[in-house]
Chains A and B, each alone.
Chain A
Amino acid sequence: MARAELMDFDKALELFEPVIGLEVHVELNTTTKMFSSAPNPANSQFHVADPNTLITPVCLGLPGSLPVVNGEAVKYSISLGLALGCEIAPSSRFARKNYFYPDLAKNYQISQYDEPIAFDGQVEVELENGRVFTVPIERAHMEEDAGKLTHVGGSTGRIQGAEYSLVDYNRAGVPLVEIVTRPIFGGEADTPALAKAYVATIRDIVLSLGISEARMERGNLRCDANVSLRPRGQEKLGTRTETKNVNSMRSVERAVRYEIQRQAAILAGGGTIIQETRHWHEDTGATSAGRPKSDADDYRYFPEPDLLPVVPSKELVDELRAALPEPPAVRRRRLKSEWGFTDLEFQDVANSGLLIELEATVKAGATPAAARKWWTGEIARLANAAAVDASGLVSPEHVAELAQLVDSGTLTDRLARQVLEGVIAGEGSPQQVVDARGLAVVSDDGALIAAIDEALASQPDVLAKIRDGKVQAAGAVIGAVMKAMQGKADAARVRELVLERAAQTA
């Protein structure tokens, strides 16, 4: 794939104003699917399943099968709409979106078209630099997810060269809410960061509502980013591209930035932007052209005749409104004061999108300081190295356990980092990794003293220096002991004992 020409980001901002629109798909974690009583793989209890085992005749669109709306999914959708500051439609209905592609067996997707359940909202988004943005929400509508295709054969394994495709319908019919923003103006140089912060805020909202597992690496939360540029001073919006399925918060920011730079180079060179779907490639950090907007986008929507209108009572809406959790902005203020972090420390956590993880880690027994240290330190570093989101790497419970093992003196920081790697590698809980790898600190003074005496005996010159009061010479002995203990000793304790032994053996 030839890499597109990119314009310097600052230069692009000088010449053009970026305008974005974001579509976020949220898989709800109800027990069953949207229109069928099949188990829902977006609920963690059914996440691991063999292909085509989470389906009913409805998921396959078999003759005679009829969809029935999951009442719980409707409640979740209303709650989400309310949390997005939306109006809830007094009456909304489902529509068929017709297309022929084997990811849905019945050749249409049940969605909502002209009567979405929620509309006209706004979400407050706080950027990493502290800037607060209000993102306008156009609508949030209910629909069903499609099945998963695996393309087999061909030279590259990618769809272009595929000989055939294998279809697993487990995901077909998973309840989705699609949240669509209005065009977002004024982001300017913060536009990529704004896109990321928006997705992080949506994730915070659905997690606090408890309506989705919201794990981006599992596709519970997916973002399509529309990006267009217009020359400074021009009123008319530029032609937009839609980058599909950007599956980590980090990628959302990168993909938007990339499209701004790519489109700017084309426009400045006198070219035109083609309205098309683009695919984001995590490995190369680039987007590539997908299919152009074409006849295939003629979805011939019409009202779904198999389903009845959804008319939520005022009582139900009021009840769900009363049960809403505190908005993310309010929550941030509360957590900052509870944890006693400085502005800088709190910003550090918030910027890494790890508030929920930190809160859960503290709840599981870690001190706020220890939770912050691990999440924004070693875990963030490992996540960065692996180019994944830290939230998917390790559970808050395991981090809390790790912090407690350090607090209790079972592990040094150095050993704890090794244990963390084991936990991430799937070797079990921190305690299990400690046991399996034999990583606990040697807290048996007897074993330490034996190693110290041996080291002192083999380095009589060092012993002499220590006795002369040159305590910094003890470093060589400490090093030898740590090596003998394979690093599994508390260096401070070893130092104490070295000085003690050096004095005693006089």
Chain B
Amino acid sequence: MSEITAEQVAHLANLARIALTDEEIEHLTTELGQIMHAVEQVSEVATPDVPPTSHPIPMQNVFRDDVVGTTVLTADEALAGAPESDDSRFKVSAILGEEQ
């Protein structure tokens, strides 16, 4: 398995909109590398007859009825934790030149 590089950490930080100093990148490169190695050890135990799983609990088809629930918030409740709001909406700084 490949090592985590400082470039990859910088790339991830950019994707996550986190500004990191060179020292922080270096520190995280080491830490993430250790996590990768730990995961690698788990992979070693997996033999070809063990199918990959995306969930540890052997359950499926857990569905909800299509009925409006009791946890619907008012706009005031929804905005209670917002650092800033305006006109019943969350106010966020403009993200320039980006649209998803």
Contacts and interface: CB of A to CB of B under 8 A. Distances in A.
Interface of A: 30-32, 36-39, 50-58, 60, 62, 68-74, 91, 93, 98-103, 146, 150-151, 153-154, 159-160, 162-169, 277, 290-291, 295-296, 298, 300, 303, 305, 308-312
9 contacts: A50-B88, A58-B71, A62-B81, A98-B15, A164-B94, A166-B86, A166-B89, A166-B91, A298-B11
For the residues of B in contact with A, the DSSP-based class is loop
Contacts of A93: 54-55
B15 A298 contact: yes
Interface string B45-83: 000000000110101111111111111111100110100
Given A56-B73, A296-B15, A165 B92 contact: yes
B99 interface: yes
B61 A70 contact: no
Contacts of B78: 52-53, 55, 60, 169
Residue among B75, B94, B95, B96 with the most chain A CB within 10 A? B94
B23 interface: no
Interface residues on B, range: 35 or more
B18 to A, nearest CB: 9
B34 interface: no
B64 A37 contact: yes
A352 B88 CA distance: 40
Contacts of B62: 68-69, 308
B89 A73 contact: no
A169 B60 CA distance: 29
A167 B90 contact: yes
A74 B99 contact: no
A164 B66 contact: no
A57 B97 contact: no
Contacts of A309: 54-55, 60-61
A169 B67 contact: no
Contacts of A167: 89-92
B88 A51 contact: yes
A54 B72 contact: yes
Nearest to B16: A100
A52 B32 CA distance: 38
B23 to A, nearest CB: 23
Contacts of A103: 100
Given A30-B66, A102-B92, A300-B15, A310 B61 contact: yes
Nearest to B79: A52
Contact of A71 (B16, B63, B72, B99): B63
A102 B90 contact: yes
Contacts of B59: 308
Nearest to A68: B64
Contacts of A101: 95, 98-100
A164 B64 CA distance: 37
A271 to B, nearest CB: 23
Nearest to B56: A305
Nearest to A63: B81
A171 B60 CA distance: 27
Contact of B71 (A56, A159, A166): A56
Contact of A160 (B11, B54, B69, B97): B97
Contact of A295 (B14, B75, B81, B96): B14
Given A57-B71, A295-B14, A295-B15, A71 B65 contact: yes
A388 B64 CA distance: 38
Contacts of A51: 75, 87-89
Contacts of A290: 99
B67 A31 contact: yes
B78 to A, nearest CB: 5
A38 B63 contact: no
Given A31-B66, A52-B79, A68-B63, A160 B73 contact: no
A311 B61 contact: yes
Contacts of A303: 54-55
A74 B65 CA distance: 11
A56 B97 contact: no
Nearest to A76: B66
B15 A308 contact: no
A39 B71 CA distance: 11
Nearest to B63: A71
Given A51-B87, A51-B89, A62-B81, 18 more contacts: A31-B66, A32-B64, A32-B67, A38-B69, A52-B73, A52-B79, A53-B74, A72-B65, A74-B63, A101-B98, A102-B95, A166-B90, A167-B92, A295-B11, A309-B54, A309-B55, A309-B60, A310-B60
B64 A70 contact: yes
B93 interface: yes
B99 A56 contact: no
Interface in B6-55: 11, 14-17, 54-55
B28 to A, nearest CB: 16
